[in-house]
Amino acid sequence: MKRRERTRQLIELGGLVAKADLIELTGDDRAVLLGLLIDAAAMLRGETRERQLLLWRRRGQRAFDAAATGL
């Protein structure tokens, strides 16, 4: 991946963390944020991977849709 593409990806991912209110909810505690992400990764390595992806995808799409409509 080229440097500019990687930088853009990282900025977009940081935006998602902010959009989910995780920065405020964790007091910008990066250890807590990393812990959350490690737990999510562990869930994706487990037997309920597909179910969890479906749940998170639906929840995320609803949030995107709500933001697009100004709700």
Domain boundaries, the chain: 3-69
DSSP state of 46: S
CA dist., res. 17 & res. 51, Å (int):
22
Can you give the pLDDT at residue 70? 82
pLDDT tens for each residue of the chain, 71 residues long: 799 999 999 999 999 999 999 999 999 999 999 999 999 999 999 999 999 999 999 999 999 999 999 86
Using CA atoms, how far apart are residues 50 and 41, in angstroms rounded to an integer? 13
CA-to-CA distance for 51 and 29, rounded, in angstroms? 29
| Contact assessment for residue 22 and residue 36, using Cβ atoms and an 8 Å cutoff | yes
